[in-house]
Amino acid sequence: MKLVKLIANLGYGSRKQVALMFREGRITDPAGEVLYADDAVAHANVRVDGEPLDPPQGLLLMLHKPVGYTCSTKDPGRVVYDLLPPRFRLRDPVLSTVGRLDRDTSGLLLMTDDGALLHRITSPKSHLPKVYEATLASDLRGDEAAVFGSGTLMLESEKTPLAPAGFEALGPRRARITLVEGRYHQIRRMFAAVGNHVETLHRHTLGGLGLADLPAGQWRLLDETDRATLFTNPV
């Protein structure tokens, strides 16, 4: 791919703007030698204003989503893209969230510009478990494990029952839930179906990946080892 297109696709500017950056000598190699738009140079050897280029197409990142941010590009309020470098929002192909977390849900969110990878992660065939912890407004009833694990729970306006979900009580009003699918507001609606209300919800893991010590609001790129870890925990 031509350098101008490559750099424009990473969100640095339109092709016209990037062509101007070349003319201004802002695009260089690691030694500071000015590059030209037609040069054939590896991604790793391009600098913009002395800084390495953003990661190439095929990026996968993990974000510790805080409460209060939506998984959208258009919401007038705070969106998860506000937590990333501004250029990431302008990338082509687009950087999408892998599934969604509600505005009031915190925890592990993946984002990628790789459509095939996104599909592989979210496909029910991958059976990647997602583990959440919820705090509840009322005490658990005692039948949640049976109801959620039954494979017959029908939520309002759904056409098929939920797949069996894992449930573990962690206290009178705290529980760990493991899902292998992702329906709209699924956990909140599951607890509503057993007469309860979710007060806080946090996603701890997706497949074999956890947040480890990544602070809320922070993100990190995932490498090949992380990708392998992601797919190591199918149920």
Contacts with ligand URA by CB under 6 A lie at 101-102, 105, 185-188, 201
Nearest-approach distance from CB 19 to ligand URA, in angstroms? 43
Phi, psi of 175 (to 5 degrees): -150, 155
Nearest-approach distance from CB 106 to ligand URA, in angstroms? 9
Q: Give the residue with the Cβ less far from ligand URA, 63 or 201.
A: 201
What is the residue-wise DSSP string for 163-195?
A: PP-EEEEEETTEEEEEESS--TTHHHHHHHHTT
Query: Among this protein's residues, is 102 annotated catalytic?
Result: yes
Locate tokens 């500017």: which residue? 13
Catalytic residue of the set 39, 54, 102, 114: 102
Q: Give the residue with the Cβ less far from ligand URA, 19 or 193.
A: 193
Q: Give the residue with the Cβ less far from ligand URA, 97 or 105.
A: 105
Q: CB-based burial of residue 68 (10 Å sphere; 0-12 exposed, 13-18 middle, 19+ buried)?
A: exposed
Q: Give the residue with the Cβ less far from ligand URA, 75 or 223.
A: 75
Nearest-approach distance from CB 101 to ligand URA, in angstroms? 4
Dist. CA 188–CA 137, nearest whole Å: 11
204: its two tokens: 């701890």
Strands 174-179 and 27-28, sheet pairing = unpaired
Nearest-approach distance from CB 188 to ligand URA, in angstroms? 4
Residues with a known catalytic role: 102
